[in-house]
Amino acid sequence: MDRLETIKRFESSARTYASKFEALFESGTGVRMRDQSGREVIDCLACAGALPLGHNHPEIRDELLRFITSNHVQQVLDLATPAKFEFVQELFGLLPDEWATRAKIQFCSPSGSDAVEAAMKLVRFATGRQPIIAFRGAYHGMTSGALAAMGNLPPKATLVSGAGGVHFAPYPYRYRCPFGTDGSDTDHLSIQYLSTLLSDPESGIPKPAAVLVEVIQGEGGCIPASDEWLRALRQLTQQHGIPLVIDEVQTGFARTGSMFAFQRSGIQPDVLVLSKALGGGFPLAVVVYDKSLDSWPRGMHAGTFRGNQIAMVAGRATMKILRRDRMESHAQAVGAALSEGLMQLASRHPELGDIRGRGLMLGVEVVKSSTHSARAPQDGALAAAIQRAAFANGLLIETGGRNSAVLRFLPPLILTKNDVGIILDRLETSVIQAKKGRTPEGGNADVARAVS
């Protein structure tokens, strides 16, 4: 039995990506990986966004080699170390200046889920209130409390504890307006709904401890909230004295064309949840929050690996490179090229119903209709077929959103415009094959064209 078959034999039935992308990946450089057969695959998943600088970035690798040969402590719970000092300095240097002067940080167990759990615990303790307002389509993690704030129903179908106290409001999903409009008034209706919920003495929901939101819903289908909607939400939460928790586990660190996605709107959260890119490819998660909320006692949130020194070293090096190379501007420019190319594909293939997102966090909603009508039903089966064909053609993309009908692009931020051209060629070949119901035998598509 070969190595891949052995892994498949012993691994849990709950495995996710490995069940769809059946290959043994042996090496990776930049935006490309190679499997056991030597086949090249362009990685548009980037470990769900945790590899902002791609695979085996030489500067990160050199920094890690220096660290692990230095006799520096590597795991020390939450004790102070030089690595922690330098990491915190670098992170706070990326935060908006005014907010950084008021911010505190809590290191969590190294997953975004645990950081969300910590944020929920923080606001509940600080306010003395229990309810949390989350949004339909949200994804905040797979642990019990974070799962309770998830919009997707199947993963929480058997949740028997920790699910109480979370109430869901409509997210401003313009392409499929939750209020049944053409999308032009979705933002206003969403805010008005929330305003009524918070002010109605018979809403059935006590005053919440927080509103928890993603600036762009990632797993929910790459749905961006507008700057105007975010500003209205911030104003509404301030008016009612409710902390605003922004989950930037996937959108943070230059991904969307600004260092943090919330910055484009000019608002400031009360609580910011960070993970994925934060550790430069290694497990790390934190909650950064306004010091006015810092009333929880010692030991209120803990975890053995909240002092992941290797992740702090890699994370600090990553943040330095992101700032030095102005990667937010690069993500915006290359993301615009990818978005434009996807729109051109959509003009030739009406099954690609909506192109959306920001920077290098883009989604393509796949529909059944031959027109670009928002009423066209989603086609999760075709999206899955495109994904399978794309992988056979050397392109790794994820699906998400309702009915898993959204093709998601989350590549490393070092993606070039030349890479964009190759991605678009492989994707169009895959769309054509999927529409014809033909699964390619394998190997890369013809990728001669490149975007200049």
Residues with catalytic roles:
139
CA 314/CA 312 separation, integer angstroms: 6
CA 105/CA 271 separation, integer angstroms: 10
| H-state helical runs in 240-307 | none
User: Of the candidates 278, 274, 256, which has an alpha carbon nearest to the alpha carbon of residue 141?
Assistant: 274
Residue type, 113: S
CB 51 within 8 A of CB 42: no
Angle, helices 227-239/186-199, rounded to nearest 10 degrees: 10
DSSP secondary structure of 369-401? SSS--TTSPB-HHHHHHHHHHHHHTTEE-EEES
Q: What angle do CA 379, 384, 386 make, to 5 degrees?
A: 95
How many residues comprise the chain? 452
User: In sequence order, what are the residues at sequence separation of 6 or more whose Cβ sits closer than 8 angstroms to the Cβ of residue 202?
Assistant: none
